[in-house]
Amino acid sequence: MKPVLIKVTNTPDHSFSIEEHKGRAFNYLYHFHPEYELTYIIKGKGARFVGNNISHFDAGDLVLVGKNLAHHWHSDPEDEHSSVRAIVLKFAAELNGVRLFDLPENQPIRQLLDAAAKGLKIVGKTFTEVAALMEALLVAAGPERILLLLRILNEIAHSNDLEVIANSDYPHHITQYDMDKMNKIYEYILNNYLGDVSVSEAAAIANMNESAFCKYFKRRYAKTFIQVVSEIRISHACRQLNKPDITVAEVCYQSGFNNLSNFTKIFRKIMNMSPGEYQKKMSPKHRS
């Protein structure tokens, strides 16, 4: 089920939108739009796709997405019976024809928006400050909305608590035709990654032969189809390893792998540590 839109403020008397999303799951299509987007996950967990990066997200995820950068939040299948909540801020380079961010005083914000072309994750002290400002913006009215928008962007622009998300090889410009095709492929992967996923079936969905499909996917995504499937499975495995009283072997088979040795090899390649090391690092005892 897609999130239910609870609060929408992109009415004709507003120059940008901020929305509160509540529902059973995040299941937006892999998509892009000309607006910049700042998404604050308050409740929910799953896999986050930004450009060609696949990472797991949890409550407290705060990401700035540049204009026309493809993105998608997908709730963990086992989490779809709980609830989700997010605040999503969208704004264009021009606010009702006013290029506010091109003013000399806003040069740091302009540089921030350029950097958002690869997606930026906001962490640390900046996350705490910006999250509170987004809650305030959700209920603000009049000139206060503009002031809060500038405060949010200014906080991020002057922060060192930023992590670049998308791989530098990711092609920034993707057509709507490509997006429609990629959505069909992603739907297939996300519906089947815990079981059997094959290149031949994905190629058939894309109406291509296997060779042409593999070249097409690599060119559009800067990663192979198998790499993407593996990253989605490892993202799921990371969430499983956060659970108490679960073994690495159990996580391996619950995450779509049928060989413990291969799972460990792929996990180490993507996460730069073994599943056991990751589990130990994420244990409550270790975090404390």
Tell me: do 126 and 150 sit in the same domain: yes
Q: Identify residue 263 by its one-letter amino acid code.
A: F
Q: Give the pTM.
A: 0.81
Q: How many domains is the chain built from?
A: 2
What one-character DSSP code corresponds to residue 104? G
Tell me: do 181 and 232 sit in the same domain: yes
Tell me: do 116 and 182 sit in the same domain: no
Tell me: do 30 and 150 sit in the same domain: yes
| Residue 222 belongs to some domain of the structure | yes
pLDDT of residue 183: 83
Tell me: do 181 and 156 sit in the same domain: no
Q: Could you tell me if 86 and 28 are in contact, meaning their C-beta atoms sit under 8 angstroms apart? A: no
- Residues with Cβ within 8 Å of residue 179, at least 6 apart in sequence: 30, 31, 32, 70
| Residue 126 belongs to some domain of the structure | yes
| Residue 171 belongs to some domain of the structure | no
182-217: pLDDT as tens digits: 888 988 998 899 999 999 999 999 999 999 999 999
Compute how many other C-beta atoms are within 10 angstroms of the C-beta atom of residue 7.
13
Q: What are the DSSP calls for 122-179, one per residue? A: E-HHHHHHHHHHHHHHHH--THHHHHHHHHHHHHHHT-S-EEE-S-TTS-S---HHHH
What one-character DSSP code corresponds to residue 67? T
CA distances from 266 to 151, 190, 261 (A): 42, 19, 9
142-165: pLDDT as tens digits: 999 999 999 999 999 999 999 999
Tell me: do 152 and 185 sit in the same domain: no
> For residue 104, what are the domain limits?
4-164
Q: What is the CATH number of the domain that holds 254?
A: 1.10.10.60
pLDDT of residue 47: 87
| Residue 98 belongs to some domain of the structure | yes
Q: Could you tell me if 37 and 62 are in contact, meaning their C-beta atoms sit under 8 angstroms apart? A: no
Tell me: do 143 and 200 sit in the same domain: no
Tell me: do 123 and 230 sit in the same domain: no
Tell me: do 155 and 29 sit in the same domain: yes
Average pLDDT, the chain: 88
Q: Could you tell me if 49 and 71 are in contact, meaning their C-beta atoms sit under 8 angstroms apart? A: yes
Q: What is the CATH number of the domain that holds 115?
A: 2.60.120.280
For residues 23 and 82, give the distance between their C-alpha atoms in angstroms, rounded to a whole number.
Answer: 9
- Residues with Cβ within 8 Å of residue 59, at least 6 apart in sequence: 41, 42, 43, 44, 45
Tell me: do 233 and 123 sit in the same domain: no
